[in-house]
Amino acid sequence: GNRWESTIAHELFHHWFGDYVTAESWSNITVNESFADYSEFLWAEHAHGADEAAFHQYQAAQGYLSNPTESAKDLVRFHYEDKEEVFDLVSYQKGGRILHMLRQYLGDPAFFAGLNRYLTENRLGTGSAHKLRMAFEAVSGKDLNWFFNQWYFGNGHPKLNISYGYDADKKMATVFVKQNQGDKIFTLPAEIDVYTGNAKKRYTVWLRNKADSFYFPAATAPDLVNFDPERTLLAEKSSNKTKEQYFFQFNQAKHYLDRREAIDYAGKSLGEPASLALVMKALEDPFFRIRLRALITLQNAKLDPSQLAKIKAMAQQDPAALVRGQAVTLLGKTKDASLAPVFVAATKDSSYSVAGAGLEAWLAIDPKGAFARYQAIKDQPAKGPLSLAITKVLIAEGNENDFEAVLKNFADMPLSLDKINAMENLGKFLAKVKDETKFKKGVDQMVATLEEIPAGFRGQFSGPFNNNVLKPLAAAKEAQGQQNLADYAKSKMMK
């Protein structure tokens, strides 16, 4: 699909949550932004199915969970120094996940009826978290103060340790859940699936204590007990699932994260035939992101000819460009010259991801052939992975005469993590450049790129830029006897 789909959905949703009903204060900005964020999930679910929606949900949750400083912030904040502070991972991503939990708790009929009531009652006026709560309470008949006090006017999130067991004497499956986030205890409605063979039974439970125990009848030890099977809860979770349980989960539980978690678990022991077989089976998954995850997991695995043949077929035939590109990258690690036709064909793919992977793989076995391919396509548009691959080819085989082409490739890249990572390659190329004007132009272009990053985030990139780009570049110029250029590189160290 169009990579801007989620952005379009987000901004369109603001016609209702933002324009039709506007947050009454910056403190309540989440009633605009969390809904716009959640619309991205709703669109993915509608247009691309449950797996893509689950992937989007996972990415958004990880964006919040992987930034510990965000945990201290309330969703609705009445104290801030600047209004820009409230436009963050809490108002957007965390808020969207909280809406998803509320949707699952209320059910779709009440959730969407509540949205309609909120918009209707506050049309062409202002909204707030309190007004949102009252709209949901009116249509559902439920008191939601506990939910809003916990999630909207409180901070943090649960950190859950889940232990599974079986009492053979009592014929009961057991689930023990401990909350490890500190003194604050969350009240959480949760679901638990109990699998025995192909039969599954779902139970609804409530977590209300520091530690909760749950018991379910089971004539024999279940093949799998799966806490929060729809991955609804915004929480950090750890468990004592066994290898056999993860393998069963991959084959029987259907959520995107059920399969992803099993792949990640198997990926820790690819030397074991069963683990490798599971990841190889994942290459056949109907969802392209699972196939992609499996290929990434196999990057350092020892594969036999039949397994490599399967990946070769994916490189040539998989309908998803990202999967084809990753398959080419994996094959490229073998440096097998007999695969040159696969790599050459990949460089002609319409996808920059595939073409870039093909050019880089070709470079590893035939640098001059890869350089000739670059010369054949140098006047054509090149973005993302293809642009990075071209830079690597020019570092290996190009010279100072290719400076303008290299710098143009870099300058044309939009500000992104790919562009920031490309600076290390650009720095290696500049080590070949002896002309002072060109050298300074290249260094200045990299510095200007970093200065485009908002000040609050720039610091996390300054250290790697100094250590991995400028310091090696300065050392190379000192070794070449160009002290003036070495000094210039040092003078551009980021603070």
As a whole number of angstroms, the distance between CA 358 and CA 116 comes to 50
| Average pLDDT over every residue of 229-242 | 97
The last residue of one of the domains, among 118, 151, 184, is 151
CA dihedral 82, 83, 85, 88 (to 10 degrees): -170
What are 457's two structure tokens?
């985030």
Gap between the terminal Cα atoms of the chain: 40
Whether residue 116 sits in one domain with residue 225:
no
| Average pLDDT over every residue of 458-486 | 95
Q: Is the pLDDT of residue 1 over 70?
A: no
As a whole number of angstroms, the distance between CA 223 and CA 342 comes to 42
Domain residue limits at 124: 5-151
Helix (H, G, I), strand (E, B) or coil at 107: coil
Q: What is the CATH number of the domain that holds 113?
A: 1.10.390.10
Whether residue 100 sits in one domain with residue 169:
no
pLDDT digits (tens, 9 = 90+) for 217-226: 999 999 999 9
As a whole number of angstroms, the distance between CA 485 and CA 30 comes to 50
Helix (H, G, I), strand (E, B) or coil at 142: coil
| Average pLDDT over every residue of 148-161 | 98
Give the CA count within 13 Å in the CB-facing half-sphere of 52. Answer: 16
Q: Is the pLDDT of residue 74 over 80?
A: yes
As a whole number of angstroms, the distance between CA 57 and CA 353 comes to 24
Whether residue 97 sits in one domain with residue 205:
no
Cα 282 to chain centroid distance, Å, stands at: 19
Say if 116 falls within a structural domain. Answer: yes
In this structure, the number of other CB atoms found within 10 A of the CB of residue 179 comes to 21
How open is the CA angle 157-163-164, to the nearest 5 degrees?
A: 135
Say if 456 falls within a structural domain. Answer: no
Whether residue 24 sits in one domain with residue 122:
yes
The last residue of one of the domains, among 88, 121, 151, is 151
The last residue of one of the domains, among 134, 151, 168, is 151
As a whole number of angstroms, the distance between CA 200 and CA 299 comes to 35
Whether residue 183 sits in one domain with residue 72:
no
Say if 315 falls within a structural domain. Answer: no
If pLDDT is split at 50, 70 and 90, which confidence band does 315 have?
A: very high
Whether residue 43 sits in one domain with residue 134:
yes
Q: What is the CATH number of the domain that holds 163?
A: 2.60.40.1840
pLDDT digits (tens, 9 = 90+) for 375-432: 999 888 888 899 889 988 988 888 899 999 889 888 888 888 888 988 998 999 999 9
Whether residue 170 sits in one domain with residue 79:
no
Helix (H, G, I), strand (E, B) or coil at 241: coil
Say if 125 falls within a structural domain. Answer: yes
**Between residues 230 and 2, the one the model is more confident about:** 230
Strands 188-196 and 224-227, by their bridges, are: antiparallel
Helix ranges (DSSP H) in 203-287: 243-252, 256-266, 273-282
As a whole number of angstroms, the distance between CA 178 and CA 192 comes to 15
CB-based contact 489:474 (threshold 8 Å): yes
Strands 172-179 and 211-217, by their bridges, are: antiparallel
Whether residue 147 sits in one domain with residue 218:
no
CB-based contact 469:430 (threshold 8 Å): no
If pLDDT is split at 50, 70 and 90, which confidence band does 440 have?
A: very high
CB-based contact 11:36 (threshold 8 Å): yes
Say if 173 falls within a structural domain. Answer: yes
Say if 466 falls within a structural domain. Answer: no
Say if 455 falls within a structural domain. Answer: no
Say if 109 falls within a structural domain. Answer: yes
User: What does the pLDDT read at residue 391?
Assistant: 86
Whether residue 95 sits in one domain with residue 169:
no
Q: Which of 272, 311, 309 is nearest to 295 (CA)?
A: 311
Number of domains in the chain: 2
Whether residue 137 sits in one domain with residue 27:
yes
